[in-house]
Amino acid sequence: MANKTLVTAEPNKQELTITREFDAPRELVFRAHVEPELYVQWVGPNDLEMSIQKLDAVDGGTFEFTHKRGGHSYRFFGSYHEVLKPERIIGTFEFDGLPERGHVILGKTSFEELPGNRCRLVHQSVFFSVDDRDGMVQSGMERGVAEGYNKLDTLLEKQVGSTASA
């Protein structure tokens, strides 16, 4: 049975949580979040073309990537506060396509080991307001996140396979 992406957003709270299990060791799932050549292969919805302008996943580093569809491009950027291999990534995140800047998100992605070389990812985003959180949920992020993780499943399967056969 395929692993499901669960997005939780309680009413009137300025946070959301995403939970997803993967059939791969957490070291690999973590690497897919910090190595640009892996990250570019899975983040975002199926129908967008992903490119990375910068991904310096270290304490105090920054990132910037762009999703393109047709003539439209959507830029995302932020700072890494902490990159603790292979446990946790904490940093800021902003989408520059909003009517104004300043709607920044603080995110924490935790990678937990599960029995059988599996992994649970728990991501928490906190927002400056409930409206910011609701806007994010209503933007269709859930589909994009779920499609991204499905692409990550495929990528991890190849990685696990190549590790096993190495």
Asked if 142 and 125 count as a contact pair (C-beta separation under 8 A), the reply is no
Q: Is 60 in the site for a second copy (CB under 8 A)?
A: yes
User: Which one, 27 or 87, has the nearer CB to a second copy?
Assistant: 87
**Using the rule CB under 8 A, which residue among 70, 71, 99, 101 binds a second copy?**
101
User: Which one, 72 or 101, has the nearer CB to a second copy?
Assistant: 101
Which of helix, strand or coil describes residue 84?
Answer: strand
- Least CB distance to a second copy at residue 122 (A): 12
**Using the rule CB under 8 A, which residue among 9, 52, 90, 146 binds a second copy?**
90
- Least CB distance to a second copy at residue 107 (A): 9
**Using the rule CB under 8 A, which residue among 22, 30, 42, 80 binds a second copy?**
80
Which regions of 6-164 does DSSP assign to beta strands (E)? 6-8, 15-22, 49-55, 62-69, 72-84, 88-95, 105-114, 118-127
- Least CB distance to a second copy at residue 130 (A): 10
Both structure tokens of 79? 């700072």
Could you give the CA distance from residue 127 to residue 114 in angstroms, rounded to a whole number?
29
**Using the rule CB under 8 A, which residue among 25, 44, 91, 148 binds a second copy?**
91
**Using the rule CB under 8 A, which residue among 81, 118, 120, 151 binds a second copy?**
81
Segment lying near a second copy (by CB under 8 A), choices 18-26, 65-73, 99-107, 139-147: 99-107
Could you give the CA distance from residue 152 to residue 146 in angstroms, rounded to a whole number?
10
Site size for a second copy, by CB under 8 A? 26
Output Rg (C-alpha) for the chain, integer angstroms.
16
- Least CB distance to a second copy at residue 34 (A): 16
Report cis status (omega within 30 of 0) of the bond before 86.
yes
Residue among 123, 67, 54 nearest 91 (CA): 123
Q: What angle do CA 40, 111, 73 make, to 5 degrees?
A: 25
